Structure 1
Amino acid sequence: MSTALSPRHARHPAGLARGIYLPRTADAAAFAMSTYGIPLLVLHTTGSAALTGLAFALEWIPRLAAFGWAGSVVDRRGASVVFCLASLGRALALAAGALLLSIHPSGTVASTTVMALAASTGVLTEFSYIAAETAGGAAGRRAGPRAHRVQSVLLGIDQTATLAGPAAAGVLLLAGPPQMLAVVAAISLLAALLALHTPPSPVTPARAPKDRAGAGLVTGWRTIRSLPALGWLVTGLTLSNLAIGFLQAAAPVIVVKHFGQSTTAVGLLWSTAAAATLASVALCRFAIDRLGLWTVGAACAALASLACLAAAHAPTYRSYLILIAILMAAEGGMTVVLRTLRARLIPTAVFGSTLAATILILLLPFPLAGVLTALTPPADLGHVITACAAVQALGLLLAFTRLRTDPALHT
């Protein structure tokens, strides 16, 4: 593409930062603070552990149900429009919740308010996330051979928000529920304003089929099936996510019951893993320049499999923490490869639908991991981790073996 015809945000880093990175940063911060903060808010307001768990479910179940709809709406209306409206809607919902809780700090109204916030912010966050990912995918396509650099920056933004968001929400909650919600609402409003600078979708919304909203996931699934490289990578990472999800679900039991640590040690475990992932993403950005997508992806897959197998037999908490950090760092490297491949291969006209289908497939093992954790006696968790690690290793081996000669990973 010639410089004369290139959009300004593709030619200047400042435009990329203003149109893609800054809106994504604000949205990721609101995403993390609402996702982790609202269950804390429910517990603080109601004092009920059961309602806290229900609030977490109310956040995620509508998100999973909204994937296909969100993807098709983004394809029809454009990423920047959906990004702005979803962030604005979340800001308004949080502001209304802050007002209601300031008037009714406890009781039935307060309980109803926080549960409604859990459901509404979950759906609106899904729309803003799909829109932000679509905008990031478009930026990666414009970056051409440097697409992995754009994706590594976006992944770094997400990981930083995941690292800082829950802690920030917990600190803000000390000032009071209305104050916490007001701050998150302000960040959501900032994301909506910054989204006005997001480059418009290259697809003309008026030309998109009007019936796609009901067939978004079908469209995405068909696109994945038509792209073997993407299909194999998604399959391998989905099987890997079964192990990741089980380790996440079982971590409190393993750390507290098996290693005799406090609940604070569970938070330290995932904070260390998030920091390792950030370092891995930064390293992979340069490693892909020199070694290519397949080499970096295959190395990360091997490292993840070995770390997961070793974690099942870790003798101490410190060794377990180190192995989990290595595992999540390797997972971060494979995520950079997936995002880059996704930006290269998915057609622009169906990017939102295919992105939604891809994310939904990757998230499906997590509920299964929760069920496995609930059904497994604490003494047998190590055996289940070993089995999940074996499934992970087999899935990643098959995926990267099939992708070894695929031109999509060697461009």
Structure 2
Amino acid sequence: MAKARSAAVESRAEADNAPRSLWRNLDYMYWWTGNGVSALGTSISTLAFPLLVLHATGSAAQAGSITACHMIGALVTLPLGGTLADRVSRRALMVLAPLLQALAMGTIALLVHRGDPAIAALDALALAGGLAAGLRSGVSMPALRRIVPKEQVSAATAQGMGRDMVARLVGAPLGGLLYSLARWVPFLFDAVSFLFVALASALIRRPLGPDGPAGPRPGVFADMADGLRMIRRSDYLVFTILWGAALNAVTEGFTLLFVVLVQFRGGGPTEVGTASSLALAGGLLGSVAGPALMRGLGARTVLRLAAWMFVACFAAVVWVPRPWQIGLVLLVAMASIVPLNVVTESYQVRLVPDAYLGRVASAHRFSVQVVQWAGPLGAGLLADALGVRGAIGVLAVVMAVLALALHVARHQLRILDRPPAEVRELAPVSPAAAVRGPDGTARPEILTSTAVEKGDRMTEHPGFPDRARPEADALSPVSPPAVPSADGILAADRDRDLVAERVRTAVAEGRLELGELDERLAAVYAARTLGELRAAGLDLPVPGPRDALVVDRTPASPLAVGVFGGFARRGEWVVPPRFTALSLWGGGRLDLTEARFARQETEIRAVALWGATEILLPEDIEVEVKGFGLFGVFGRRGARRTGRPGTPRVVIKGIALFGFVKTRTVPGRPPAY
């Protein structure tokens, strides 16, 4: 009897500690309903736009231009939206961005109501709405993490996907009905839906962040660079971003071929619509089953199973004879894809600190969206060359390779072996990321410990508060340690190389006989200390800091690439006549202070796409910077001209798109002997 009473008490305690249902979370209901109404309005206007343009011009190309303008706008501001979500009030962004969208869509409704609007005006307003949509998309994931407990993020993500599937399912027929009433009504409905989501965002009561930094706030581009470093720190994030981008391209290509295949099987627009509705129903089914599958089977198993189910659907869709059967296959395909997204987003939210989530989530979405155009383009080319069946077969092979990658990438996906609740956050990239608590003081758990992930294994390294370190108390203050003289310091390889260069220069100038070269070099490389090295080159002139800068040696590789990673060129490397540095979601440094050049004229092309490149320049070479920044910064402060004859000339060209290329002049290091 006592045992039964004890078990009942424990069960009641567990029930009290369990998070309440999402449907009883008022803030979540504001977020869910507001975004649901907005998704419905977007589905309606997406259908109405091509109908409007086709009615006015009869041009399919102009109809597609409006969608392209909206997609380009959303893509351009997506990284900025994620960065702003980690810097300024997320609530303000969640209210302001849909208000801008409502203004753009309301203006379109007004122009359509007055008469046939100019296509250029529609394109401009669609671009403006897309720019606002990118800002809004960047803040959605960080806000959701604050609205619901971490334990319920996977369920909230799945419910959001299911809500959007229903909105798309209902939006198409409702859009056609509203368009039949009046051509401007669908756009007015979409404008009102954006007002609704802005109001719902304003009604959310809990703080959405971000919390203020403990130190001075860096610039926007420095914040972007910190977000990239956070991604590079985790093998899981890098893998899922690249893998998800490839999967999205394959999915978009499959969507195009599905329409072509239905028509090839004798179906018309009605059959295409029916198959699309079945696919959306499958997505809704997957959103309901996703969290349960992840709890029951484990995240890694769900990920692999979903990928192989998608491969099987590629194979099955080729052989089924009727359009409605194709729709059933698509139902299964969508039901398998949605749990896959639930898994990847749930672990991303648990792994990334709140202070970086906006930047990391926007980087993930940008990487996925930036290559989606390649899917339909490649699928169309394959269909023309191999036929529809052959094209689907090629996509099936590509999808099988992606599925196999989930088995090969054991180390990158090892984090999936733990439940999301046991995943620990990555450490902040910089001390400035330490956030303040409600009382305005820095959170001690961030200042006194650092959790560092290597792959997906995390270890703790104890830090120290602002007081003196314990080991400092054990040092005796009576006398400082003895400092050896400069001649007694051990020589480094770089020191020997500099003296060896002086020996070779002296031989080339006729100061030393050619027969003395081997003897002198042997003495240089046998020297152990700076004193012995000084004696080996005592009677040789010390070259100026920029003498013999152009050398007849094999230059280094003409390309340096940092893609989700970094590169560095430093020391006495030989710069080729044309050198290209590419930073894509990564960074790099070119140090020319000790470099040699293969030619008198050198051209460096620096391209930073959502990345950062720093170029360190010596004081007395001629530099010209011709690059420019597009939503980025191409620094020119490092450009300095000299009139000294024979000085090498370096021209730096390129572009910084949502990134920066920084040039900085540093003083040369004189020799230490």
The verdict on a shared fold, with TM-score over 0.5 as the criterion, is yes
The match for 1:170 among 176, 180, 184 is 176
CA distance in 2, matches of 1:215, 1:389: 41
Matched to 1:343, the amino acid is V
Matched to 1:237, the amino acid is G
CA contact (8 A) 1:71 1:356 kept: yes
Shift of 1:11: 9.0
CA distance in 2, matches of 1:205, 1:167: 46
TM-score, length basis structure 2: 0.55
The match for 1:81 among 92, 106, 129 is 92
Aligned partner of 1:394 in structure 2 is 401
Alignment deviations for residues 336-355 of structure 1 (CA, whole Å, 9 cap, x no partner)? 11121121112211211111
What pairs with 1:3-402 in structure 2 (closer than 5 Å)?
A: 13-103=24-114, 105-106=115-116, 109-139=117-147, 142-144=149-151, 146-198=152-204, 199-204=206-211, 209=217, 211-212=219-220, 214=221, 218-256=225-263, 258-378=264-384, 380-402=387-409
Matched to 2:249, the amino acid is L
Report SS of the residue matched to 2:266. Answer: coil
CA contact (8 A) 2:153 2:346 kept: yes
Task: Write 1 or 2 for the structure with the bigger share of helix.
Answer: 1
1:259/1:11 CA distance change after superposition, 3 Å: closer
Report SS of the residue matched to 2:209. Answer: coil
CA contact (8 A) 2:284 2:335 kept: yes
Shift of 1:191: 0.7
CA distance in 2, matches of 1:134, 1:393: 33
Matched to 2:234, the amino acid is L
Matched to 2:73, the amino acid is P
CA contact (8 A) 2:83 2:359 kept: yes
1:346/1:32 CA distance change after superposition, 3 Å: farther
Shift of 1:47: 3.0
Alignment deviations for residues 228-286 of structure 1 (CA, whole Å, 9 cap, x no partner)? 22332333333222321111122332221x21210222222221111111011101222
Alignment deviations for residues 282-317 of structure 1 (CA, whole Å, 9 cap, x no partner)? 012222232322222222122112212332444432
1:10/1:280 CA distance change after superposition, 3 Å: closer
CA distance in 2, matches of 1:267, 1:12: 32
1:333/1:68 CA distance change after superposition, 3 Å: same
Matched to 1:227, the amino acid is S
Matched to 1:42, the amino acid is V
CA distance in 2, matches of 1:32, 1:219: 35
Task: Point out the more displaced range, 328-337 or 58-67.
Answer: 58-67
Percent identity at matched positions? 22
CA distance in 2, matches of 1:336, 1:25: 18
CA distance in 2, matches of 1:12, 1:371: 42
CA contact (8 A) 1:217 1:357 kept: no
Matched to 2:243, the amino acid is G
Matched to 2:64, the amino acid is G
CA distance in 1, matches of 2:223, 2:58: 39
Task: Write 1 or 2 for the structure with the bigger share of strand.
Answer: 2
Matched to 1:234, the amino acid is I
Shift of 1:400: 4.8
Shift of 1:196: 0.6
CA RMSD between the two structures: 2.8
Alignment deviations for residues 192-243 of structure 1 (CA, whole Å, 9 cap, x no partner)? 100112343332367784522x466654443332222233233333322232
TM-score, length basis structure 1: 0.87
Alignment length (residue pairs):
399
Report SS of the residue matched to 1:366. Answer: coil
CA distance in 1, matches of 2:46, 2:377: 21
CA contact (8 A) 1:10 1:143 kept: no
Task: Point out the more displaced range, 331-340 or 381-390.
Answer: 381-390
1:30/1:322 CA distance change after superposition, 3 Å: same
Matched to 1:392, the amino acid is M
CA distance in 1, matches of 2:373, 2:418: 34
CA distance in 2, matches of 1:218, 1:159: 35
Aligned partner of 1:3 in structure 2 is none
Shift of 1:403: 4.7
1:261/1:331 CA distance change after superposition, 3 Å: same
Alignment deviations for residues 157-215 of structure 1 (CA, whole Å, 9 cap, x no partner)? 22222222233222211122222211111111011100112343332367784522x46
CA distance in 2, matches of 1:162, 1:98: 21
Q: Pick 1 or 2: higher relative contact order, CA cutoff 8 A, min separation 6.
A: 1
Report SS of the residue matched to 2:87. Answer: helix
CA distance in 1, matches of 2:21, 2:323: 46
Matched to 1:80, the amino acid is R
Report SS of the residue matched to 2:188. Answer: helix
Gaps of 5+ in 1: 1-5
CA contact (8 A) 2:257 2:392 kept: no
CA distance in 1, matches of 2:51, 2:77: 24
Alignment deviations for residues 355-384 of structure 1 (CA, whole Å, 9 cap, x no partner)? 111012222342111221342344523222
Report SS of the residue matched to 2:31. Answer: helix
CA contact (8 A) 1:139 1:150 kept: no
Larger radius of gyration between Structure 1 and Structure 2: 2
